[in-house]
Structure 1
Amino acid sequence: MRLALHTICLVFLFSSCKTPEARKPINIKSGSFINESINRNKELAAKEEAIIQKIITKDTIHKYITSETGFWYFYTKKDTLSNVTPKFGDKVTFNYNITDLNGNIIYTQKELDTITYHIDKEELFLGLREGLKLMKQGEMVTFFFPSYQAYGYYGDDHKIGANIPLITKVTLNTITKESTTEN
């Protein structure tokens, strides 16, 4: 009887032992959230760019230029003699204001005061950072930035909300070239 009991236990032991099997997922959604986000952002960018294009089309006074990085601008005051634009590390001083696409003032030039900025070495929103590199000392330029070139999804935590395209009027006061002499 004991032998039979041991035999039955051994049979159960060997028949019940098998390697664990991996469970298969019920739903497979590889990258769907990212793809949906990309599509939403493309739609938002297209919508904002269409609004800006409509403004540009109605404006028969100014000659607009499209930047390589995705914003539009025109010169109020242009320097045709100089070819000096700020490069990486150069110190610039400038004044600007910010409005929405309807012309509503968000920040006045007085509120923002004169800004001293080292090109690409300090924080500044993408569009303005790229726009300054196109300017020469003394020039005045009006930039139209879609939200992805401005403060994007997060806004500025003060007056600029999420996904707000902006217009900025910028005056580049000075350019001080970074010292290239070695000690």
Structure 2
Amino acid sequence: MTMTIAGRSTLALLLLALSACAKVPSAEPVAPSAPATPLAAYQIVDNLCERLDHAWLQELAGVPPKLKTFEPLPGKENHGMCHAGAGSTDRRTLILVRISTTVERAEPADIGLPKNARQLSGVGDRAWIKFGKPITHPNEQFGGETTLRIDDLMVAAGPARVSVTISLDAPSVPEESAAEALLTAYARRSLELMAGGQ
């Protein structure tokens, strides 16, 4: 698959302007399992991205990440969204981390199970993970090639739901095991903070 300079410029704007992206479609619900942790009183954290560890992002891009928190829409105070993004100075590496949180009025929170996703254990009460197909394309503006991959994780714990998406366009992308570790670390810490953790 080829990508023009204009196409990659559009991608850079999408990743680094920290704009909202489309939701992952859901299909059949994941069967609930026994709660992994005692029921907690979850709430939306206003400064969630500021309290998460983005050290890996700076190490990979070579610059501090830019954070953005989106104000909830009227009547949607039980939803939260924030982004962390970074781009290397040579623009060969572009990264966007998108975190969306919800506290449902009733539990358990529904997370569905999209096509090509697999159920994941060890985080929350129910979870699934989905790795995007790597797309390698020529970097005509800077020479060489870069690879784009978008990975998603959805977790439910009682009435709380956390969605984490990592979009990475770089000379190389991490192994799926490394991406899974990053996604689950974001989700676990987000749930911990939503439950009142420090």
Normalised by the length of structure 2, the TM-score is 0.24
From the CA coordinates, give the structure whose radius of gyration is larger. 1
| TM-score, reference length from structure 1 | 0.26
